[in-house]
């Protein structure tokens, strides 16, 4: 343990404690106000369960149209620290995180004992408060594929206006008007602080024939870019702040620290939800609809707890089946990435001691500097491996100026859950400037499921992603290793002294850089990029207007509705889903008898 380790202990060490303190303070003050304030009304026009990326968009748009909305969230308000981009890694395994764990994987994440750590936001803003803030939409053909599966209204041309509606792109970019929104609630920009190595990554891409430009625009089929991020003036733009907060106290009532147990059904009609708050179980009713936005784990879990799912499975766990819908919880898809570690010349990556320099704070005061780094990853790219026959790229790179060594084991390696036996390999590089090239499978073929572990709503469900069970996924990763080695051979990377780390401890016995070595390496180090989707998919669980098949008054609006994962990080697509869902809900609005005067029945995009 050298001096850097001790200094990090002093600076980074207290952060988890401060975060926990903030959480318990807001829990305590919410409890006090729950005790003293008058009871909230028990009926609303709409109930939105889950204040995450999609839930806040839906709640905000319904409130904007004049409807009363109850927005229910299991977590509490986000502490100010959670809005500082550079602290992103500390949010995992904190009280703001559900901290799910998958079942043991046979072929993947073996370096973490086969268990993949799945953080999800348990806080107002949901996973939009825990994420790395990259704004990527995937490929236009992803949405056309949805449309061609029979999901009318979900082609690229149909969804593009909703991407633009929420976006407020700050700064200049090519073809801005064609591809970007500028008046939306979600500020996106690309001028936050990037690690200096990012420039070399982009030049390396150019040497391999890729252009640098807008991968949400003209370069969707291949290209490199400085990362676009959901940040505004140095602060994370979480969806609660961006879309919902301004209506709270007026049209939106927020119920924090409230765990939704199930949907309340009368026959096959959803009429409300049951939740537990501070030990008390209550029922709230919706005049119009109940909208589940609890995410790809929470939404199928709530449906199954409500008796909507595969009847045999429900019987196994002692839940009475109300409606047999076997697709609930199936079709779980997730992106996985492969960290390939390198060292390079000093000063080009993240400086672990940056937080100690007054200059860091001074630059942050004007919304810049290292504290605005999006988790150390300044570059992104869409590329093709030699195996790819699709016009859509099959690999997305996350290009990082930080590695498992940079923070001396305080954050990143813990978040990935690596076994202690991996640490000596990382430790050998703590004295160097280091980074990672992280090829990410854009459209994995392996898929899994979510099932109930028990009928207790508080039990985390069974999460089985079945990583790397399809040979094609493994082959694509192996091909991406070749591509990565080619990137490292470019003049741009040689000029910055880039060097692959030596053989790792789990696979070195197979002979460094042999085919067997890389296969072992992939199986040990692949990890989730935190994009589970598909578990209440349109076409099996939902119709194209996101209504639950066979149940009235109930929709699902979040990442779980995707029939197929898109080739890019999922936050922007899920916000788009929230926008489009709100539009459809307002279109379908049937004027209720007790409609208030200022309720708009018309909906304008
Ligand atoms: C660590 C991390 C990094 C990521 N990085 C990126 C990135 O850089 N770019 C990107 O595009 N995507 C990223 N993602 C993915 C992206 O953030 C998610 O796909 C997206 O936020 C999911 O949105 P959602 O609305 O489906 O669910 P969520 O945002 O997770 O919202 C679900 C909400 O429902 C609440 N909830 C769940 N169950 C219950 C219940 N029973 N009762 C009450 N409330 C409940 C949750 O607490 C949560 O607030 C990342 C995700 C994580 C976790």
If you compute the radius of gyration of the chain from its CA atoms, what whole number of angstroms results? 23
Residue 438 contacts residue 339 (beta carbons within 8 Å) = yes
The predicted structure's pLDDT at residue 102: 98
How far, in Å, are 15, 86, 220 from residue 79 at the CA level?
Answer: 12, 14, 35
Burial of 49 (C-beta count, 10 Å sphere; 0-12/13-18/19+): buried
Tell me the pLDDT tens digit for each residue of 41-88.
889 999 999 999 999 999 999 999 999 999 999 999 999 999 999 999
Q: CA-CA distance, 374 to 129, in Å (whole number)?
A: 12
For the CA of 50, the nearest atom of ligand 1: 34
Comparing 19-28, 325-334, 348-357, 571-580, which segment has the lowest mean pLDDT?
348-357
CA 126 to ligand 1 centroid distance, Å:
5
- Average pLDDT of span 125-138: 98
Q: CA-CA distance, 1 to 217, in Å (whole number)?
A: 47
For the CA of 122, the nearest atom of ligand 1: 47
Q: Look at residues 241, 252, 222 and name the one whose alpha carbon lies nearest to residue 65.
A: 252
Asked whether 121 lines ligand 1 (CB < 6 A), one says yes
CA 444 to ligand 1 centroid distance, Å:
20
The predicted structure's pLDDT at residue 590: 60
CA 292 to ligand 1 centroid distance, Å:
13
Helix (H, G, I), strand (E, B) or coil at 287: strand
CA 52 to ligand 1 centroid distance, Å:
6
Phi, psi of 154 (to 5 degrees): -120, 15
Can you say how many angstroms the Cα of residue 364 is from the centroid of all Cα atoms in its chain?
25
Testing ligand 1's pocket by substitution, the residue of 131, 229, 302, 573 carrying the most ligand atoms inside 8 A of its CB is 131
Q: CA-CA distance, 392 to 250, in Å (whole number)?
A: 45
Testing ligand 1's pocket by substitution, the residue of 27, 47, 50, 124 carrying the most ligand atoms inside 8 A of its CB is 50
The predicted structure's pLDDT at residue 592: 47
Residue 468 contacts residue 108 (beta carbons within 8 Å) = yes
CA atoms within 13 A of residue 191's CA, in its CB half-sphere: 11
Testing ligand 1's pocket by substitution, the residue of 75, 186, 273, 530 carrying the most ligand atoms inside 8 A of its CB is 530
The predicted structure's pLDDT at residue 605: 55
CA 301 to ligand 1 centroid distance, Å:
15
Task: Name the pLDDT band for 356 (thresholds 50, 70, 90).
Answer: confident
Whether the predicted pLDDT of 332 surpasses 50: yes
- Average pLDDT of span 346-363: 91
Catalytic residue among 83, 180, 228, 531: 531
Torsion on CA atoms 455, 459, 465, 469, rounded to nearest 10: -80
- Residue 200 CB contacts under 8 Å (≥ 6 apart), including other chains: 344, 348, 492, 493, 495, 496, 498
* DSSP summary character for residue 244: I
For the CA of 239, the nearest atom of ligand 1: 29
- Residue 321 CB contacts under 8 Å (≥ 6 apart), including other chains: 307, 309, 311, 314, 315
Tell me the angle at which helices 156-166 and 571-588 cross, rounded to the nearest 10 degrees: 100
Asked whether 377 lines ligand 1 (CB < 6 A), one says no
Q: CA-CA distance, 480 to 474, in Å (whole number)?
A: 10
CA 120 to ligand 1 centroid distance, Å:
5
Residue 54 contacts residue 293 (beta carbons within 8 Å) = yes
Sequential DSSP letters for 467-491: TT-SHHHHHHHHHHHHHHHHHHTSH
- Residue 128 CB contacts under 8 Å (≥ 6 apart), including other chains: 52, 53, 56, 121, 230, 238, 239, 240, 571, 575
Task: Tell which phi-psi region holds residue 153, choosing left (phi > 0), alpha (psi between -120 and 50) or beta.
Answer: left
Active site residue 384: no
CA 124 to ligand 1 centroid distance, Å:
10
Helix (H, G, I), strand (E, B) or coil at 177: helix
Asked whether 555 lines ligand 1 (CB < 6 A), one says no
Asked whether 334 lines ligand 1 (CB < 6 A), one says no
Token digits of residue 167 = 């976006």
- The per-residue b/e assignment along 332-348, b for 16 or more CB within 10 angstroms, e otherwise, is bbbbbbbbbbbbbeeeb
Domain 84-118+198-236+333-528, second-level architecture:
2-Layer Sandwich (3.30)
Asked whether 583 lines ligand 1 (CB < 6 A), one says no
Nearest CA to ligand 1 atom 21: 127
Whether the predicted pLDDT of 604 surpasses 60: no
Whether the predicted pLDDT of 597 surpasses 50: no
Element (H, E) at 55: helix 53-64
Asked whether 450 lines ligand 1 (CB < 6 A), one says no
Asked whether 74 lines ligand 1 (CB < 6 A), one says yes
Whether the predicted pLDDT of 411 surpasses 50: yes
Mean pLDDT, the chain, integer: 95
Asked whether 571 lines ligand 1 (CB < 6 A), one says yes
Can you say how many angstroms the Cα of residue 584 is from the centroid of all Cα atoms in its chain?
24
**Residues of the chain above pLDDT 90, percent:** 93
Task: Name the pLDDT band for 602 (thresholds 50, 70, 90).
Answer: very low
How far, in Å, are 444, 475, 477 from residue 466 at the CA level?
Answer: 11, 16, 16
Nearest CA to ligand 1 atom 30: 127
The predicted structure's pLDDT at residue 37: 83
Asked whether 299 lines ligand 1 (CB < 6 A), one says no
The predicted structure's pLDDT at residue 394: 98
Asked whether 363 lines ligand 1 (CB < 6 A), one says no
CA 531 to ligand 1 centroid distance, Å:
9
- Residue 220 CB contacts under 8 Å (≥ 6 apart), including other chains: 137, 138, 139, 140, 382, 392
Asked whether 297 lines ligand 1 (CB < 6 A), one says no
Tell me the pLDDT tens digit for each residue of 576-596.
999 999 999 999 996 544 444
Tell me the pLDDT tens digit for each residue of 245-256.
999 999 999 999
**To which residue do tokens 């086969």 refer?**
114
Testing ligand 1's pocket by substitution, the residue of 126, 236, 277, 414 carrying the most ligand atoms inside 8 A of its CB is 126
How far, in Å, are 137, 180, 183, 191 from residue 177 at the CA level?
Answer: 16, 6, 11, 19
Torsion on CA atoms 40, 43, 49, 54, rounded to nearest 10: -100
Asked whether 530 lines ligand 1 (CB < 6 A), one says yes
The predicted structure's pLDDT at residue 601: 43
How far, in Å, are 185, 200, 222, 247, 553 from residue 53 at the CA level?
Answer: 13, 33, 27, 16, 22
- Domain ranges for the chain, please list them: 84-118+198-236+333-528
Asked whether 449 lines ligand 1 (CB < 6 A), one says no
CA atoms within 13 A of residue 403's CA, in its CB half-sphere: 27
Element (H, E) at 21: helix 14-36
- Residue 593 CB contacts under 8 Å (≥ 6 apart), including other chains: none
CA 505 to ligand 1 centroid distance, Å:
34
Tell me the pLDDT tens digit for each residue of 502-532.
999 999 999 999 999 999 999 999 999 999 9
Element (H, E) at 100: strand 100-101
Q: Can you point out the beta strands (E) in 244-303?
A: 252-255, 258-266, 269-277, 280-292
Sequential DSSP letters for 219-230: TTTSEEEEPPBS
Tell me the pLDDT tens digit for each residue of 2-31.
888 888 888 888 999 999 999 999 999 999
Can you say how many angstroms the Cα of residue 432 is from the centroid of all Cα atoms in its chain?
30
Token digits of residue 230 = 């959901």
Torsion on CA atoms 461, 462, 465, 469, rounded to nearest 10: -170
Asked whether 47 lines ligand 1 (CB < 6 A), one says no
- Average pLDDT of span 326-354: 96
* DSSP summary character for residue 138: -
For the CA of 570, the nearest atom of ligand 1: 11
Provide the β-strand partners of residue 204: none
């Amino acid at each position: 343990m050298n001096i850097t380790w001790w200094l990090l202990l002093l600076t980074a060490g207290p952060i988890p404690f401060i975060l926990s303190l903030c959480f318990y303070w807001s829990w305590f003050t919410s409890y006090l106000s729950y005790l003293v304030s008058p009871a909230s009304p028990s009926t609303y026009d709409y109930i939105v369960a889950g204040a995450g990326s999609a839930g806040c968009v839906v709640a905000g748009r319904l409130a904007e149209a004049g409807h009363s909305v109850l927005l229910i969230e299991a977590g509490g308000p986000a502490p100010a620290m959670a809005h500082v981009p550079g602290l992103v890694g500390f949010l995992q395994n904190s009280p703001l995180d559900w901290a799910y764990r998958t079942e043991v994987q046979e072929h993947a994440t073996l370096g973490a004992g086969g268990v993949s750590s799945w953080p999800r936001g348990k806080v107002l803003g949901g996973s939009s408060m825990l994420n790395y803030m990259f704004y990527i939409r995937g490929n236009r053909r992803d949405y056309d594929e949805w449309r061609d599966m029979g999901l009318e209204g979900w082609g690229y041309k149909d969804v593009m206006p909703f991407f633009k509606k929420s976006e407020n792109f700050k700064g200049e970019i090519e073809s801005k008007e064609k591809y970007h929104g500028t008046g939306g609630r979600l500020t996106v920009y690309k001028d936050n602080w990037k690690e200096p190595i990012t420039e070399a990554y982009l030049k390396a891409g150019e040497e391999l024939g890729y252009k640098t430009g807008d991968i949400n625009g003209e370069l969707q089929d291949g290209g490199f870019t400085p990362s676009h991020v959901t940040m505004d003036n140095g602060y994370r733009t979480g969806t609660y702040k961006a879309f919902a907060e301004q209506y709270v106290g007026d049209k939106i009532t927020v119920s924090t620290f409230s765990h939704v147990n199930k949907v309340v059904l009368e026959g096959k009609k959803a009429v409300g939800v049951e939740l537990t708050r501070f030990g008390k179980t209550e029922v709230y009713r919706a005049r119009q609809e109940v909208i589940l936005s609890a995410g790809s784990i929470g939404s199928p879990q709530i449906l199954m707890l409500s008796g909507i799912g595969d009847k045999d499975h429900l019987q196994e766990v002692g839940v009475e089946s109300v409606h047999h819908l076997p697709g609930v919880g199936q079709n779980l898809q997730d992106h996985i990435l492969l960290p390939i570690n390198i060292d390079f010349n000093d000063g080009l990556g993240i400086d672990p001691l940056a937080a100690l320099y007054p200059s860091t704070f001074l630059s942050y005061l004007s919304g810049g500097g290292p504290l605005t780094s999006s988790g150390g990853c300044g570059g992104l790219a869409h590329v093709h491996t030699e195996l790819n026959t699709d016009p859509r790229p099959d690999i997305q790179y996350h290009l990082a100026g930080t590695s498992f060594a940079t923070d001396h084991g305080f954050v990143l390696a813990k978040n990935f859950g690596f076994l202690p036996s991996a640490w000596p390999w990382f430790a050998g590089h703590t004295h160097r400037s280091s980074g990672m090239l992280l090829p990410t499978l854009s459209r994995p073929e392996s898929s899994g499921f979510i099932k109930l572990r028990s009928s207790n709503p508080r039990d985390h469900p069974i999460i089985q992603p079945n990583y790397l069970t399809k040979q094609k996924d493994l082959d694509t990763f192996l091909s991406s290793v070749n591509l990565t080695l080619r990137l490292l051979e470019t003049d741009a990377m040689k000029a910055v002294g880039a060097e692959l780390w030596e053989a790792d401890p789990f696979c070195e016995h197979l002979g460094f850089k042999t085919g067997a070595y890389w296969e072992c390496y992939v199986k040990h180090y692949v990890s989730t990029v935190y994009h589970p989707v598909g578990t209440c998919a349109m076409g099996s669980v939902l119709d194209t207007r996101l209504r639950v098949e066979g149940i009235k008054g109930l929709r699902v609006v979040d990442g779980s509705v995707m029939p197929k994962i898109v080739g890019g990080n999922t936050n922007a697509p899920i916000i788009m889903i929230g926008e489009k869902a709100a539009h459809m809900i307002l279109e379908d609005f049937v004027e209720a008898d007790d409609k208030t005067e200022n309720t708009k029945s018309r909906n304008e995009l």
